[in-house]
Amino acid sequence: MKLLQILKTALATCIFALCGYTANAQVAGTSHVVPYYNLAGGITAYTNVIYDFQSVTIYSYTTTGTAYLWRWQMSQDSINFVDIAGETAVNCTLPAYYINDFVTTEQSKTLYFRCIMSNGTMETGADFVQPILFVRTNDTTLYPTDPATGVRYVVINRGLNGVAGGGKVRIALFNLGQNGTGSYINGAPNPDPMFSDAANIGNPDDLGDFYQWGRVADGQQHAVWSKNALTRANQITPMTGGGNTSAVGVPTINSGGPYPSLDINYQIPSTDPLYYGKHIAGATTWGSTAANNWGNTAVAGNRAGAPKSLADWSFPQNNPCPSGWFVPSLYDWADMFQNNGTGNAFTGGTLPITANNNTWEYIPGSVANTTQAIGGVVITNNLTGAKVFLPGAGNRHQQTGGLQFLNSLYYWSSTSGNATQNGGRMSVNAAGVVVGDNTGAARAQGFCVRCIQLAP
């Protein structure tokens, strides 16, 4: 019997050698272990860009076989990996300010992570290395807090009166509803505890809410982000995650029926429980065709008429942002990008692009599916080095409410699109191309909102 076992082991060793596998072999210059054929896997995070004050969880998974032991490693150069002390569980959670153990002066730095997994007798290095860009916000002059609202922000340059980079704008660090920021009604925090999102403070897995264009935060926007425990897919509830083929559990209303009577602000009244607080499904619009639910009557293509501040809005009470903050107009977005403060078009382009003393850089998602870390756009103020991250959270499908197009960016503007029933948008596709157009997108779609404030 013992001789038979020896022969089996020898035969297996020969097979491994012929197939290019070596038991516990090391790759030169790294601590990476060459995987056996029957144990393979990878790792993923929720996003691959976070602020230093956020904690982050990195998840491991196997694609072949089952792992029972884990050893997490980190590298500052993607080549030389070292073990992370105490991290021997299936998932690795890095505490807030983890990056400060490795840098003292740099404003941002990318660290690389992987996991060595074992089934007790065989080991595999994770087939995937997860890079994460950490943005350091320790300089409060570059990352101040609005004392009136508690909103953290950075100052970004913008074109103004024909001068490239001749003005400035404050932009919030997070999307509305992201990282525990909650929601707002007429500038004040929504009193409904459901929308406080307090559990998501410091949580990079939370990417914010999805608003239908022109609507207030009546509940239709609310999204709770998480990782599916089995598939590791990024998902939102109560909406379906990972696609738009199913609307099970989605609080939508079919657009084929009659719309309710809107109130004087073109909103669904709270006295209508059938529609109030619901994502209203429709091919184009959720019910209001007014050009000034947000912003004013000036549609895309009319820079001169676009609102310069919330005071120029027709219905400022519809603004979903905190007091003193507002949804950017199409030209606010354009002038942070590469317009010089003139012209009626939003000119697009392929990132990275440096203009107006800003650099827009697209950080691609780890892979183009719902399982891996979500990328997005980092905007850097080239005069100060301050950075702000716009995650590629995708959008909610206008008819099903399902999550789709992760790694693409869809951000509403307060400007109505020049096509009937559309809202103006700033969008970046998964190839890193900023879409410049005045047409806009169907108002029934759920997009992210990033609030801005005028800078002195």
Q: Are residues 177 and 306 in the same domain?
A: yes
What's the token pair of residue 50? Answer: 């976070």
**Residue 6 confidence (pLDDT):** 39
Please indicate, yes or no, if residue 5 is contained in any of the structural domains: no
Instruction: Enter the tokens of residue 273.
Output: 């429980």
Backbone angles phi, psi at 5, to 5 degrees: -65, -40
Q: Domain with 28 in it: what CATH number? A: 2.60.40.10
| Residue 161 domain flag | yes
Beta pairing class for 252-253 and 279-280: parallel
- Does residue 143 lie within any of the structural domains? no
Residues 237 and 273 in one domain: yes
Rounded to whole angstroms, the Cα distance separating 428 from 349 reads 9
On whether both 78 and 172 belong to a single domain, the answer is: no
In a domain, 2, yes or no: no
Same domain, 119 and 219: no
pLDDT of residue 193: 74
What pLDDT, on a 0 to 100 scale, did the predictor assign at position 253?
Answer: 61
Instruction: From first to last of the 456 residues of the chain, give the pLDDT tens digit.
Output: 444 443 333 433 343 333 333 333 322 223 334 444 477 778 889 899 999 999 999 988 887 888 889 999 999 999 999 999 999 999 999 999 999 999 888 999 999 999 999 887 777 765 678 999 999 999 999 999 999 999 999 999 999 888 888 899 999 999 999 988 888 888 988 888 777 777 777 777 889 999 999 999 988 888 888 887 777 778 887 654 333 333 334 455 655 445 567 888 888 888 887 778 888 877 677 767 777 889 999 989 999 999 999 999 999 999 999 999 999 999 999 999 988 888 888 888 999 999 999 999 999 887 644 457 899 999 999 999 999 999 999 998 887 788 888 889 999 999 998 776 789 999 998 888 898 778 889 888 999 999 999 988
Residue 115 and residue 173 in one domain? no
Which residue range forms the structural domain that includes residue 59? 22-135
Residues 120 and 182 in one domain: no
What is d(CA 280, CA 294) in angstroms, rounded to the nearest whole number?
Answer: 18
CB 107 within 8 A of CB 135: yes
- Is residue 178 domain-shared with residue 108, that is, in the same domain? no
For the chain, what is the domain count?
Answer: 2
Q: Are 127 and 35 in contact (CB under 8 A)?
A: yes
* Final residue in a domain of this structure, among 135, 162, 177: 135
Q: Rounding to the nearest 10 degrees, give the CA dihedral for residues 447, 453, 455, 456.
A: 160
Q: Which of 135, 162, 185 is the last residue of a domain?
A: 135
Same domain (yes/no): 186, 231: yes
Position of tokens 């806009």?
440
Residues 229 and 341 reside in one and the same domain:
yes
Q: Exposed, middle or buried: residue 29 (CB in 10 Å: 0-12, 13-18, 19+)?
A: exposed
Residue 91: inside a domain: yes
- Cβ atoms 415, 329 nearer than 8 A: yes
Phi and psi at residue 129, to the nearest 5°:
-100, 125
> Which pTM does this prediction carry?
0.87
Domain end call among 135, 168, 201: 135
Residue 3 belongs to a domain: no
Count of CB atoms within 10 A of residue 454's CB? 15
Pair 46, 186 in one domain: no
Query: What is the rounded (10 degree) CA torsion for 407, 412, 416, 420?
Result: 40
Same domain, 196 and 340: yes
Q: Which residues of 270-287 are buried (b: 16+ CB within 10 A; e: fewer)?
A: eeeeebebbbbbbebbbb
